[in-house]
Amino acid sequence: MPLTPTGDIVGPARTGAHGVGAFNVVQIEHAEAIVTGAERAGRPVVLQISENTVRYHGALAPIALASLSLARTAAVPVAVHLDHAETPELVHEAVELGFTSVMFDASRLDYDANVSATRQIAEHCHRAGVWIEAELGEIGGKDGAHAPGVRTDPDEARAFTAATGVDALAVAVGSSHAMRTRDAVLDLDLIARLRGALDVPLVLHGSSGVGDAGLAKAVAAGMTKINISTHLNRLFTRTVSDRLRAAPDTADPRTYLGPARDTVATEVTRLLGILTAAH
């Protein structure tokens, strides 16, 4: 199946009031697991590559080209998305490589500067037919730079999307990045108000900290794109640790990376079932 535009996945999901799983790729095993999990579920999926992952690999192209290749040969619709890019140069490279969407993160800037920077990136992306997500106000836990209890204001969010022309907005509703427990309490009333105030899909960052019931309720309240990274990474790492503990003299990395990949694929299938059933 050809690489699928992100808007062609997220737009119908918003209309149909169900969720889209957007899972982060750290290495090729993650991408393989996510695509396999989506194929088993028979659901579309978004592969996400963050700026942190780009720094880990030392360049965007190697992991990006691998992910794009997997997307193009998948049996279900797969989009490839650049996550939390903070520089125009990285966004431009992703667009040139063929990414179907980018998330430009200028949330460290004040409101006016965020609007200006994001509008310029949105114009560049739209000229290339690329879908763009942005963030208004930092989501909790990103480099420790978010005061507890901060929430996105619906009126400000409406003004921001109108001024920037973005296609989706990540909002602060009670989740936090890199949580290792799934006990975040989301503001469902605020999600519903944001859904009513905006004409673009809402994106939930920090979804690893939200339990199954919370994810279903968030989608029912109006969230569409659900970003999950840390939760899958914990499962991946736990499986590797268990395998190495059981066989400490193991030399072949395939003997522990393969099972870790299988674990993530199984969880992706399960999560997609929760997100797409929630409506």
pLDDT higher at 175 or 271: 271
pLDDT at residue 217 is higher than 70: yes
Q: Are 174 and 149 in contact (CB under 8 A)?
A: no
Let me know how long the chain is.
Answer: 279
Percent of the chain with pLDDT over 90: 78
Per residue in 31-80, pLDDT tens?
999 999 999 999 999 999 999 999 999 999 999 999 999 999 999 999 99
Q: Domain boundaries in the chain?
A: 6-277
pLDDT higher at 207 or 273: 273
Per residue in 165-196, pLDDT tens?
999 999 988 755 545 455 566 788 899 999 99
Of 8, 83, 249, 262, the active-site residue reads: 83
Q: Which two tokens stand for residue 174?
A: 């009670």
Q: What is the pTM of this model?
A: 0.92
Average pLDDT of the chain, as a whole number: 90
Interhelix angle for 154-164 vs 111-127, to 10°? 40
Predicted pLDDT of residue 144:
33
Q: Which residues of 32-43 are buried (b: 16+ CB within 10 A; e: fewer)?
A: bbbbbbbbbbeb
Interhelix angle for 254-277 vs 230-246, to 10°? 150
Task: Round to whole Å and give the CA distance between 116 and 106.
Answer: 10
pLDDT higher at 232 or 152: 232
Instruction: Tell me whether residue 83 is one of the annotated catalytic residues.
Output: yes
What is the DSSP-derived secondary structure letter of residue 139? Answer: P
DSSP secondary structure string, 164-206?
H--SEEE--SS-BTT-SSS-----HHHHHHHHHH-SS-EEE--
Predicted pLDDT of residue 1:
75
Q: Which CATH number fits domain 6-277: 1.10.1050.10, 3.30.70.270, 3.20.20.70, 1.10.1200.10?
A: 3.20.20.70
Per residue in 121-140, pLDDT tens?
999 999 999 999 998 865 54
